[in-house]
Each structure stands twice: as structure tokens, then as C-alpha cells.
Amino acid sequence: MSEVNVKNSAKQGKHSPLEQTKIRFRLIIVIPVITTLLVLGVGWYMIELSTRELLIKSTPETVMQYRASVQTTIEHSTIAVVVGGIFSLAIGIVMAYAITAPIRKLTDDTTSIARGDLSRTIHLSGDGEIAMLGSAFNNMLSSINQYLLQTMSGGVVTINDRGEITSISADAEVILGFNARDMIGRDIKDMIPYNRDNRKFHKVISETLEQRQTFSSQEMTITTDRREAIPISISTSFLRDHDNTLIGLIVSFEDVKHLRKIQEQMRIVDRLTMLGGLAAGIAHQVRNPLCSIRGLAQLLKENSETESLLTEYSNVILSDVDRIDRVVDRLLKFIQPSSSSWSFESLNEIVDDTILLSKHEIRKKEIELQIDYDDDLPMILCQRENLMQAIMNIVVNAFQAIDIQGRVSIRTRKSIGETEDSFGEICLEISDNGGGIAPEDMDRIFDPSFTTKEDGSGFGLAITKQTVEIHGGNIDFFSENGDGSTFTIWLPIKKQRNGEA
Amino acid sequence: MMSEFTLGKMLMPMASKFFAKKRILIIGSDTKAITILSSRLVHTGFQVQIANETGEIYRLLKGKPPQLILLDSSMKELDSFDLLMKLRSEKRFRSIPIFILACESEIENIDKALNLGANNYIVKPFDPIDIMEKIKKAVGKK
């Protein structure tokens, strides 16, 4: 995982406490000085004006007469100016505080956010511009939080350089079994106790912090107060600020079971992409030579005497060519599933037709077929032929799982659970009481190269899974070795444009 | 590799006098499968022309139209669907049966070929007896 630089918010954090004090100091000096100077200036001007007026308008007699009172006026004015100056100095100081306090709070908050504490919000009272700025800042912060935590797959916990938890994503809450609100601000060891079970976890954290070394996909189990031995994979990355100073760690969790499933799917997709590239070639590369082999084998057969060895050999060649061709056909169908048209169909009818087509499999066996349809099923949007093929693969497997005598039951049901584009799901269950699936095979049965049949291609269930997924559905199975297996397909009941199903 | 001679010998008994020399044009790469098929056709009493180069194809098509065209879709240099479309757009070729021989078995391809006017779509590896029956039927109808 790459390092994360918190660039924008870090700008706020660039002001050191010393610089903040400087700013405040300047304001406290500048505002009182300006107000005092203003009052003093106005006062001085007033005194000047009044004395000048008196001097101009007065005669020597009046000067003598008013001298005393002029003196008193000047004295009073001077006192008033000085007192006014002191008042304005006090008002200036108060104003400076009033302006700097919320700014200072904002700076403090943004600094700690820049340090990685994304759970912090800014509280500024009042409804002035500064309070508005604070609420805008909070909005931005919550978007960043949402974005950060949602874009990271799996759970994410961020901690600062002191090992205190600064945020926990919703997934991490689920994986670890904790509520984010209870844990933020607390030490990581409160959540994941420092004990033998969690030694590996704490080793990863401390090595990341102390040796500046990140880890990726470290598989381990961790135990918290809420959940025991959680299988997870952990990656760490650095949270740095604008100056590249380490301000914390991002610890991302992956539920290993879930991760394995994703890896498995990616592996299948990779393989399919590769096969897709070969697909075009396969048809030509294989079918052209097969065509001449078939042609020649047919000639051989026609020109040899009936019941001779040559006829026998030719028949083997012919039937094997056909077998190869069937494999090629299935392979191509799997790689390039036909994009047959979508229509609204009754699942019960599709299952009926499928059973009819698969019945040849039960000729020599005594199979009791139990069919239990839900007659109130809505129509489903599907590719009829492809869906039939998908169901047939399971039905045929069920028939083949039974040696001589047994039971296959097929049932359909509707499960409610309306979503934005579906009215819930239809569930199709096909179970047999045959030999079941061996535990070691369970992970691979949908793998296109896996087969237990001597002449199988392995594509059957892979095609089924692919088709079900194309229909927006799911497939799962349940099997206890030796005691049959049950395959369940869920298909969404998609909403039609006019709102009917 | 089987020589022409051996092939011929093997096919001789199948030659039939009952078929008038009807001409079949095979358009396709010079594959063994085509050779085997054409030998079979020849020994059944058809006259066969094989064209596998674009120039040759157009030269043969300019002449007298054949009774049936087998169009092998595995030619690299020529799109068989394009050719099919061109043929069907010309009056002289509008009613001549055209069979597509293809390696692709997808329904989309089959639909496309039939919509463009192909009379049959045969997926390789084909059964020689089956294809002969189909050819005889198509030519016989005319």
C-alpha cells in the first residue's frame, strides 16, 4: 500500500504554536494602538481647535477674563482624551481576543485533523461568518471521511503516532466487532489487547511505526474482547502530512475468507480471459483437422469389410472425433456464451422442459423424481436456452450421482425481499441422495478444469455458475459426503419497465 | 498422407452414373478436409471447382453459375459473410443453394448466415455422408 499524504489539510498544521502566538500578539498590539491613536488624535484635534478659536476671537481683556476657564477646559479635555485612550485600549484588547479565539480554535482543530484525526469535528458557536466557515469545514471533513473509508476495500483503522485510534471504518467495525464511537481516541491496545494471540499484530504496528517499514497482506488471526480468532489479512501504510512528517498509520483489514473468495474469482477471471484469447483459434485449429480425420475415417470404414478390424478401428476414431468435438463445443460455449435474447419466462416451465430433455439419464436407474413447484411464481427475465442448459447441468449431475436407486427432488420457491430493481428472488433447489461431493472437491466444483467424470470436460457447473451470474443470480450448494447434495439457485425477479413482474 | 490415387481407388465404387455432371463450386482454403470432400463429390459424379484465392473466386463467379456453392468460412483473407452477401445481391446467384461450412457453432453465427441467405450451415467436423445427402437433396431439387 502506498503512503498517504494529507496535503490540503496539512497547510493548516504548518503554523507552529509560536507562530500562532505571534499572530495573536500582533492583533492585541495593533488593534488597541489603532483605537487609542484614533481617540487621542481626535481629542488632540478638538483641544487644538477650541484653543485656536478662543485665541482668535478674544481681545486682551477677554483673554485675561477667560484665561482661567480656558485652562480648566484644556485640563478637562486632556483628562477625557487620556481616559478615552485607556478605554479604547481595553476595547481593542477585547476585540482582538474576540477575533482570534475562534480562529485559534479552528487552527487547533485543523492541525489535529491534519495529524490524521479524521474523526474530529469543528465546534464554533454563534452564527457569524466564522461559525459558517466551521460548518463548511465539517461538511468537507465528513465527505473526506466517507470517501476515504468507502474507497478502501475491507476495514480501515487509522491510528496516530502515539498509537491512539483516530478513525474506524464501518467494515472494520464489523470485522473487529467494535463500535467506532466507543474506540476513537483510545489506544489501539484497548481494542486489540496486547497478548499472545495478537503478538503478530502488534509486531506489525510497532515495526511500521518504529522502523518505518510498511507491511502488506500479513495473514494472521486476532482476538478482541468481542470476537475470537478473527482470520484477517493486514496491510499498513503511512499517513504523512505536507512536510512528510509521519502523523500516523493506516491499518487496513481484510477478512481472509472473503479475500480468498475474491482471489479465487480473480484467478478464474484471469483464466477465462486467457481462454477467451484462445477461443477464436481453438475452433479453427481443432475443428479443421478433426474434419479431415473424420472424413478419412469415414472413407476407411466404407472401404473395409463389415466386422473387420478396420471397421472397428474406424468406428473408434469416429466416435472419439465426435467426443473431442463435443468438448470443443462446450469449451467454446463456456468461453463465448451465446448472447441469446432475453424474455420473461416461467421458471417452472423451464425446469419441466429441462427434466424432459435430461430424462435419458435415468433410463436404467430407479430414480424417484419429486417435483414441488410453487405455482404462484412470477415470470423471470432470462435467456431461456442458456438457463435451461445451466439447470440441465445440475439435473444431469443429480441423476448421475445416483448409482442405481435413489431420489432426486426439485422444488421452486419465491423468497421475498424487494430491492430497487427486483421483487425478491426465485429459488430453485435440486437435491439428490447420491454420493455427495467429497470435502476436498468442494472448493473446485465450479472451476472450469475440474471434473470427477471420466469423460467429463469440467465445464458443466462452470457454465451453470456463469449463466446464473449473467442472470444476476447466485448459486450455492450443500453436501455432506456420502449423503447427497443440494444445489440452490437464486434468480432475481427483475422489475419490468411498466412496473409489472 | 493418402495419395489421390488411393483416395480415388477407395471412392471408385461410390461413383454413380445416375448423377448428371452437376457443378459444385467450393470456395475455401486448401485444407485436407476440402480435398477429401471434393474427392468424394467427384467420385459421386459431380464436377467440382475449388477456389481459394480472391482473384480466382471472382473469376469463377463471373463465369457460368454453378449448381451449388460450398462456402468454407475458415478463409483468412476473405470474410465469408461478406461474400455471401455479395452473392445474394446478384441476380444470377440469388437462387443458387449456398452451404456454409464453418468451425463456429454459436447460434449467432448460424442465425447470421441463414439471415444473409445461406441455405445451410454445416459445422465442422461434418459427417461426410450427411453432407453428401444434403448436397444431393439441394441440387436434386433444382
Main-chain phi, psi angles of A243, to 5 degrees: -90, 15
- Residue A384 contacts B where some CB pair is shorter than 8 Å: no
SS3 A431: strand
CA neighbor of A208 nearest in space, from A151, A155, A159, A153: A159
Q: Are the CB atoms for B106 and A273 separated by under 8 Å?
A: no
Alpha-carbon distances, residue A14 vs A8, A248, B6, B120 (angstroms): 11, 16, 93, 78
* ipTM value for the complex: 0.77
> Residue A1's pLDDT is what?
39
Give residue-wise pLDDT tens across range A442-454.
888 888 777 777 7
Alpha-carbon distances, residue A367 vs A101, A354, A359, A391, B6 (angstroms): 85, 16, 10, 18, 53
Confidence of residue A420 (pLDDT cuts 50, 70, 90): low
- Residue A332 contacts B where some CB pair is shorter than 8 Å: yes
- Residue A338 contacts B where some CB pair is shorter than 8 Å: yes
Residues in chain B: 142
Give residue-wise pLDDT tens across range A314-358.
999 999 998 888 888 877 776 666 556 788 889 999 999 888 888
- The C-alpha of A307 sits at a distance from chain B's nearest C-alpha, in angstroms, of 18
> Residue A132's pLDDT is what?
78
Write out residues 37-66 of B within 8 Å (CB-CB) of A.
37, 40
> Residue A40's pLDDT is what?
81
- Residue B11 contacts A where some CB pair is shorter than 8 Å: yes
Q: Find the CB nearest B124 among A291, A298, A333.
A: A291
- Average pLDDT estimate for A3-14: 41
> Residue B46's pLDDT is what?
92
Give residue-wise pLDDT tens across range A189-224.
888 888 888 888 888 888 888 888 888 888 888 888
Find the closest chain B residue to A285 by CA distance.
B103
pLDDT at B3 over 60: no
CA neighbor of B44 nearest in space, from B16, B75, B2, B9: B16
Range with lowest mean pLDDT among A164-173, A369-378, A384-393:
A164-173
Higher-confidence residue of A8 and B101: namely B101
Give residue-wise pLDDT tens across range A473-499.
899 999 886 788 999 999 988 765 444
> Residue A116's pLDDT is what?
59
pLDDT at A417 over 80: no
pTM of the model: 0.43
